[in-house]
Chains A and B, each alone.
Chain A
Amino acid sequence: MSHSPTPLPSAEKLRLESLGILPVLLPAVGIIGLLSAFIWGWISNPMQLAFSYLFAFTVGFTICAGALFWTLLHHALDADWSVLMRRILESIASCFPVLLLLFLPIIFLFSKELWHWMTTDLSTDPLLAWKSPFLNEPFFYIRCGFYLLFFSLAGLLYRNLSMRQDEDGDPRITLRLRHTAYGFIPLFVLCLTFAGFDWLMSLDHHWYSTMWGVYLFAGCAQSSMAILILITNGLVRTGHLKGLFTVEHNHIMGMLLFAFTTFWGYISFSQYFLQWYANIPEETWFFVYRNTGSWFWFSVFLVVGHFFIPFLLLLTQPAKRTSWRLCTTAVWVVAMHCVDIYWIIMPNLQLQESRHAGHVAATTGFHPHLLDLLTLVGVLGILGHTILWLLSKGSIFPARDPRLRDSLAVTNWL
């Protein structure tokens, strides 16, 4: 079949005035949320603040890491459908310098509150002593710096070269980014896995799971696909990408969201299943803490809400091809991603509190705190503002990408 060549669309700027109060609202809630959380939390409950802030940071970090993954994957596989949406992914993935700044309070203010192994006497804990060649403070900080610098450089490289292609239309940039992606994907996997080990798994330093990296990755890819769906459909609804974005793009994004919903279910079940079967004390405590008291119902809610509900919501074709249905599911998925990260981090706050009170480490059930919400709104507000600012710097899609025509004509042959 022959396609008559249509002229390629010209670059399109983000029209901030069409977004209503969002460009003002995002930085406002970001700054107000973080400032109020820090002032109030620092005075009233520094440990709660530390864990709430780590929760909020991790939600932001995982979404940005997922966007970097999709950008790298797009290039490595020479994908065509995603060209139209790639600038949005690049903008999310370029938020890492901001995340680097947001990480500084964790290092300088909260590290001793968060990570129990930093304050544990090695002679009382042979398991920790065995891990100490890896799990020691200097090496830990070096690693944190390495992860965030790598993510920042990778995100900025992909966005900047893609922006340069908007100017000169040089197809060699596409090839260069593709070849770089082959090297960056293994580095990305290592950085994400070890960041997960360092920041989250070591909160409970006796516990270990070899599936931890891929478990986090599943949440990263899923939540950032949901964010991409929301941003793209938001742009379309405010009159952007007119005549370019079609229902087929929504369908593909919906399929990927569905795929990673299933992938998350598969990985999280496998992690639980292996530890349930092996029944090794250091491993099972992770789930015992999360099955105690009201945490049990929280865990059930996580399984149902993070896997079964989006699975059923996305199962049929109309669910992926109808904008409002896909967006509703995407909002739910992002919310459940927050629940997932909350479920990972917050029981550790109660363990720390009981240790500091001189008791045996134990969880007391699900007790939400206003600081969780304030820090989350703060971090997401600041990241949202950064994404909008980056998007407004150039065209909202790679206007001179050699695969743009393929992306516009993409169809799912039903």
Chain B
Amino acid sequence: MGRRRERSDIILDILSVIQSKGGKIKPTHLMYKANLSHNQMRAYLSELIQKGLVETLQEENHEYITITQPGLKFLMQMRQMKEFEKTFGL
């Protein structure tokens, strides 16, 4: 059995999934790809929107989640942090 994901792992997964889909994804797709429940996803998204890391976008009656420039920068920092953690065994 895999270990339980930390909060930082979940945020990293959400931002990575959005980026891998060209920076724009439908909420349902995000939920499945990031392996989250609906409530979990809404809670994390509201926090990420508040911090300006992602935005919601309405296009042809569909809601999309997009990653912002600060979001991309934060994603890079998170990845570097994870590498740092792995290297120093933290």
Do they bind each other? no
